[in-house]
Structure 1
Amino acid sequence: MEKGRRGKDLRIGDPERELAMRLLGEHFAVGRLDVGEYDERCRQVAAARFRSELEALFDDLPDPRPERAVPAPQVAPRSPATRIALAVGVAVLGVLLVVVARQAALILLVPLVALLWFTWRR
């Protein structure tokens, strides 16, 4: 067992590392860390395997800290009503393009259809 770890130290995964890096970025953005410190701590976060290794990187920083921070909320899937509203909006925009732009409408409709396709698939 490594010296720096405490009793029943838990292993961390990528979500914990990503949260720690995001929080270090917040400290960097407000000027608590300079570029060198931020870079070094991010490297240590990437190499961390245990929770205590992450906690040690935040010992000299105020909140937010990984153990007290709330993870970013998961994006909820779109409801059928949202998809229908999106489709209706795109259809109205397509008709408006045909009426206003006429000859250029076909060229302008291609990106519109692509946008609809990619947003619908999410």
Structure 2
Amino acid sequence: MESTDFEITSHHRTVTELVSSTKRALSTAENEGSISDWLKAIETSIKVNEYAGKELVRSRLRRHLLEAANVLAGTYDGCEEVELGEWASGATEDTLGCRAQEFLNLHRSLFA
């Protein structure tokens, strides 16, 4: 299993657990009807949304970083067409390597 597959599986498992927790809290709130239960359910659902959103952004950034690293490693050399992320927008064949290196340097803290 590749690390990206593991990462996606782990993220899916975590979000699924959070969603289940939220559903249980909402069910409890609906059945018992206390304000405290509703408050807990709402707080949990907000946390689920925030976590999932942040992880989605991180995942997209990792994919773009992988693309940039592949450009620098020559993985795409000889390929007719390669669809790259927004980080490569406006780059030419001559400037793509520099753009890839700048992008990796900008997000180096993600690796630390």
TM-score normalised to structure 2 length: 0.32
Q: Report which of the two structures shows the higher radius of gyration computed on alpha carbons.
A: 1
TM-score normalised to structure 1 length: 0.30
